[in-house]
Amino acid sequence: MTELVVLCVNAGSSTVKVALFSVGPEPGDERGLWSWSADGAGTDEALAALRAADLPSPEAIGHRVVHGGATYVTPVLVDDGLLDGLRSLVSLAPLHEPAAIAGIEATSAAFGSLPQVACFDTAFHHTIPEEAAHLALPEQLWLDGVRRYGFHGLAYESVVAHLGADRLDRAVLAHLGNGASLCAVRHGRSVDTTMGFTPTGGIVMGTRSGDLDPGVLVHLLAECGYDAAALDDLVTRQSGLLGLSGASSDMRALLAARAAGDDRAAMAVRIFCRTIRKQIGAYAAVLGGLDTLVFTGGIGEHAAPVRDEILTGLEYLGPIEVLVVTADEDRMIARHTADLLRNR
C-alpha cells in the first residue's frame, strides 16, 4: 500500500473541519488534497461539500476525539464498543465529545463499512509523570480515573513533528484559541499541561473559566441555587473572556474594543495574558529553565499584541527562542489513521 486517501474529520467545540489527505508510507509523506471548515456547521454539511467536489474517494476516515479517558491512549479502530466508550466520556468533555460521536455516526452512515480510526487529544499527554497527573484527592478517585489528562494533544504533536523533538529540549508550547492550554515538553514529550480532568481547567479561555478555587463551586451549589447543569453552563459557556468582558469571547473583538477605550475588554485581555505568563514561569521551574516558547492556535498565531503582552516580563528567563507555528491536527490524524490500518 503506497498511498492511502484519508478523510480527516475534526469536530471541535465551535467549528467543524474536514480535510482529505493522500498519505504515503513514511512520516512527512502526507499530501493535502482538500479542506473545508465552517463555524456552526455539522458533519453532514461537511460531507455535502466533499460530495460536491471532484476528489478521490476516501479509503479510510480519521476522527479527532478530544477525550480518551484512561482507556484510549493510542489511536483505535472505530466499532460499537468504542462508541459506547466515548458516550461514557461525554460528561468529561461536554463541548467536544458529542460532536465527535456525531461525526463518527454521520460518516458511518455516509460511507458504510469504510474503516474509521479515532485519534485522541489526551494520548499525547500519556507521558506526563504520575506526580503531574495526580490530583490532590483520595487514592480511590485516582483509581476511578479522576486525574489530569490534558488536551490539544494532536495540535501539540503536530508542532513537535514540524520542529523536531531534538529542538524541543526544554520548551513550552502555548495553544491559544477559543480553547487554550499550555504544555511543558522535554525532548518533544509532554511532562505537564494546564488542562486537567476536563478541557475546562487551566488558563482563562474564550468561554471557559480555567482553574477556579473549588470553594467557589461549593459556594454556588450551597448558597446560590446552582445545580450541576447550571455550574457546567457557567464554567464552560459563560465564563473566560466572555464573562470578564461581558461582550465577546473573540480576541479580535476584544482588542478592537480595548483600542476604543473599553475597560472591561482591556481587563479581559490583561487577565488572559497574565495567566499565561504565570504558567510559562511555572513550567520554566518544572523544566529547570526554558529554551523555546512556541505559540500556536488562532490567537497564538494571529494576535501579535497578545504575544507581545505575554512576553513582557519574561526577560528574567534569559535568551529564549520564540516561534510561531501553525498547528496541523488534520495531518496528524491522517498519519495516525494510515499507520494503524497498515500495521493491523
Among 289, 294, 293, which Cα is nearest to 318's?
Answer: 289
In residues, how long is the chain? 344
Question: What is the rounded CA–CA span in Å between residue 216 and residue 273?
Answer: 23
Question: What is the rounded CA–CA span in Å between residue 167 and residue 155?
Answer: 17
Question: What is the rounded CA–CA span in Å between residue 275 and residue 257?
Answer: 21
Segment holding 13, helix H or strand E: none
Which one of 121, 262, 328, 330 is the catalytic residue?
121
Question: What is the rounded CA–CA span in Å between residue 222 and residue 235?
Answer: 17
Question: What is the rounded CA–CA span in Å between residue 250 and residue 66?
Answer: 22
Give SS3 for 143: helix
DSSP states along 99-128: HHHHHHHHHHHHHTT--EEEEETTGGGGGS
> Could you tell me the CA-to-CA distances from 245 to 31, 180, 198, 200, 241 in Å, in that order?
41, 17, 24, 18, 6
DSSP states along 274-308: HHHHHHHHHHHHHHTS-SEEEEEHHHHHH-HHHHH
Known catalytic residue at 121: yes
Residue 302: Cβ-neighbour burial (10 angstroms; 0-12, 13-18, 19+) = middle
- Write out the catalytic residue numbers: 121
